[in-house]
Chain A
Amino acid sequence: MGNNNHRLSGIKKWGFKKSPWVFHLSTGSCNNCDIEILDAVTPRFDLERFGILLVGTPRHADILLVTGVVTVQALPRLLHVYEQAAKPCMVVAIGACACSCGIFDGGYHVVGPVDKIIPVDVYIPGCPPKPEAIISGVVKALAKL
């Protein structure tokens, strides 16, 4: 799928850059990437400095953090969540699985990677990526605005 085109300007762009709320979605990861995301929002890294908040519903999300190969079961859920998110909404694929299916490539249950299903803005490789890598990926996503 092609890339998203989020072109914002002026004050809208400023608001979006200063207050990206992230929603975390696992589409069949081994749970390791998810733990690293949770690490990234702990006081040690203090993402609230940049206005990043973890929200509980895709309706409030500006950035979807997707982890995991998309499994057969997760496919409709991923589509559903992506459609529910209020646009403009960026997608960040986190971990080798989400980027390229990683070690699960060719599995009977694998539909992914994520960019086969929904447009992805930033890929963060690693198995799992470090919290620093996740933060830098989100910053790159914002730089694309």
Chain B
Amino acid sequence: MFAHGAMDFFYFIIFHGFAFTVVAGLLSTWVDRKVSARIQWRVGPPWYQPFADVIKLMGKESIIPEGANRVSFLIAPFLGFTAVILVSTIVWMANIFPGASFVGDLIVVIYLLYLPAIALIVAGSASRNPFGALGASREMNLMLAYEAALLFAVFTVVVKNGGIISLGGILGYQAVHGAMLLQGASCIIAFVVTLLCMPAKLGIVPFDIAEAETELIAGPYTEYSGVTLAIFKLTKAMLLFTLPIFMLTLFAKTVWTPWTILWYALILVFIILVKNVNPRFRIDQALRLFWLPVLGLSLLGIILAAVGL
């Protein structure tokens, strides 16, 4: 990973992992809000709206509620934030210098992607707020629901390409054999499963069960204000960009063609459409959905991949 020197690595963290991803993520958030507004027959916010939100939150007071666990309350937002920065750094490095990616970074990315959800659980439990605690428990349930299916879908790719577990390696394989998505039925199934899991991972409707603003006020975010809330917003925005790019890296060759921007836009619009035409699932409905049809589908995918389809 340090083939290009430690300086380069930090350059990547700061420039690609952080700055670029923040800007792209906030713009994606704007696309989300604008398209939702157009679907509801409204004009919608101007393009700088998410930036204004974050800047405003940065300038506000950050309150630590009385009786909350100060350390976990303050660490939680930064936990998710650092994890997303690292994920996007690794994904960008693999895309720009496939040689710089190390064996097993796929697994590192999967583990790091747990952290934003865990940060929410910590935040909700630490804030000494009943809504926060309920949101945390729901987030935990949701995580148990979708993670298994998502994991099997990612490993379908690994089985299919013969056991390559580095992102650079997967990109190299796709450069020779064509996009993973075109390798057979198993990969198409795996891609569909990741598309189904993505709204749950990103915490947006129909799976915004943890922060359901009509029932739980804001769930784990309820007690957060000012800078800490801004960090959470940034984490969400960056994840909205990083997660689809990670999936595209796995399934659709590489990030650096105009096609990829189109692919990313398609995935984003798909997520937004699903968000706007569906009501929120109850937590038990979400569990049933992910544990029966979706997990079944992803198991089918991995079995098909094992027999070579």
- Residue B229 is within 8 A (CB to CB) of chain A in the complex: yes
Within the complex, the shortest CB–CB distance from A6 to chain B, in Å, comes to 11
Quick check: A46 and B63 within 8 Å, CB to CB?
no
| Closest-CB distance, A62 to chain B (whole angstroms) | 7
Residues of B within 8 Å of A77, CB to CB, are none
Q: Is the Cβ of B218 less than 8 Å from the Cβ of A86? A: no
In the assembled complex, the Cα of A56 lies from the Cα of B61 at a distance in Å of: 18
Contact of A86 among B48, B52, B63 (CB under 8 A): B63
B222 — which chain A residues lie within 8 A by C-beta?
56-57, 59
Assess whether A7 is interfacial by the CB under 8 Å rule: no
Cβ-defined contact, B217 with A18, below 8 A: no
In the complex, the answer to whether B52 meets A60 with C-beta atoms within 8 Å is no
A56 touches B60 (CB 8 A): no
Asked if B278 is an interface residue, CB under 8 A from chain A, the answer is no
* CB of A76 closer than 8 Å to a CB of B: no
B172 at the interface (CB under 8 A from A): no
In terms of DSSP, what is the predominant structure of the interface of chain B? Answer: loop
B53 and A60 contacting across the interface, CB-CB below 8 Å: no
Chain B residues with Cβ below 8 Å from A56 are 213, 217-218, 222
A60–B49 contact, CB under 8 A?
A: no
Are A86's CB and B61's CB within 8 A? yes
* B239-272 near A? 1/0 per residue, CB < 8 Å: 0000000000000000000000000000000000
Q: A56-B218, A59-B224, A86-B63 are in contact. Are A18 and B43 (CB under 8 A)?
A: no
Contact B52 A14 (CB under 8 A): yes
Contacting residues, chain B, for A48 (C-beta < 8 A):
33, 37, 42, 44-45, 49
Contact of B53 among A51, A57, A59, A86 (CB under 8 A): A51
Q: A14-B52, A59-B63 are in contact. Are A49 and B218 (CB under 8 A)?
A: no
Contact for A16 among B33, B41, B59, CB less than 8 A: B59
Shortest distance in angstroms between B140's beta carbon and chain A's nearest beta carbon?
A: 21
B40 in the interface (beta carbon within 8 A) = yes
Q: Name the B residues within 8 Å of A11 (CB-CB).
A: 55, 59
* Selected A-B contacts with CB under 8 Å, 8 pairs: A11-B55, A11-B59, A15-B58, A46-B43, A48-B33, A49-B43, A55-B218, A60-B221
- Minimum-distance CB pairs A-B, first 7: A15-B56, A15-B55, A18-B52, A86-B225, A12-B59, A56-B217, A59-B225
Q: With A12-B55, A19-B55, A87-B61 given, can you name 7 additional A-B contacts, CB distance below 8 Å?
A: A11-B59, A12-B59, A48-B33, A48-B37, A59-B223, A59-B224, A86-B60
